């Protein structure tokens, strides 16, 4: 038997540039637990290029030490799931 649980989630859309060295990207308003579900441009993956779940308020961690400071990213996150 299957059980479906439904809850309301908020979509958070953020556009910002990457980091020049990896590490934190300052994004005021992000909350611990926000789940990263999509990154544009495509080819970047939650959990590989960037953390899959926000671990520090107001920051998203870039997990690779590459200079992406000239790349404009759009991040789509879910809050409340």
Q: In this model, does residue 46 exceed pLDDT 90?
A: no
Is residue 6 very low, low, confident or very high in pLDDT (cuts 50, 70, 90)?
A: confident
| pLDDT, position 81 | 83
Q: In this model, does residue 72 exceed pLDDT 90?
A: yes
The whole-angstrom separation of Cα 26 and Cα 65 is: 16
The whole-angstrom separation of Cα 69 and Cα 4 is: 42
The whole-angstrom separation of Cα 10 and Cα 66 is: 30
For the stretch 23-33, pLDDT in tens is 999 999 999 99
Going from N- to C-terminal start, the domains of the chain cover 10-79
């Amino acid at each position: 038997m299957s059980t479906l649980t439904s809850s309301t989630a908020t979509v958070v859309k953020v556009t910002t540039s990457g980091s020049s060295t990896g590490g934190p990207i300052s994004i005021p308003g992000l909350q611990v637990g926000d789940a990263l579900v999509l990154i544009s441009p495509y080819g970047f993956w939650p959990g590989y290029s960037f953390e899959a779940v926000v671990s520090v308020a107001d920051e998203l961690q870039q997990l690779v030490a590459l200079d992406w400071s000239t790349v404009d990213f759009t991040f789509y996150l879910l809050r409340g799931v």
